[in-house]
Amino acid sequence: MPHDDFEIEPVPGLPETPPEGEKILWQGKPHWWALASESLMVKWVMGYFVFLGVWRTVRLIDIVPLGEAIWGSTPFLILGLGVCAFLIFLAWIMAWATVYTITNRRVAMRIGAALNVTLNLPYRWIEAADLDLRKSGTGTIVLRLKDDGVTKLSYLMCWPHVRPWKMNPTQPALRCIKDAERVATILGHAAQTQIERQKQAEAPTNAVPAE
Stated pTM of the model: 0.84
Task: Report whether pLDDT(84) > 90.
Answer: yes
- At 103-131, the pLDDT tens digits run 999 999 999 877 888 999 999 899 999 99
The Cα-based distances of 26 to 51, 71, 101, 146, 180 in angstroms read: 42, 51, 6, 23, 11
CB distance 191 to 123 below 8 Å: yes
DSSP reduced 3-state for 162: strand
Other Cβ atoms within 10 Å of 39 Cβ, number: 21
What value does the mean pLDDT of the chain take? 86
DSSP 8-state secondary structure symbol assigned to residue 11: B
β 162-167/170-177 pair status: antiparallel
Query: What are the structural domains, with CATH classification, of the chain?
Result: 24-29+99-200 (2.30.29), 35-94 (no CATH)
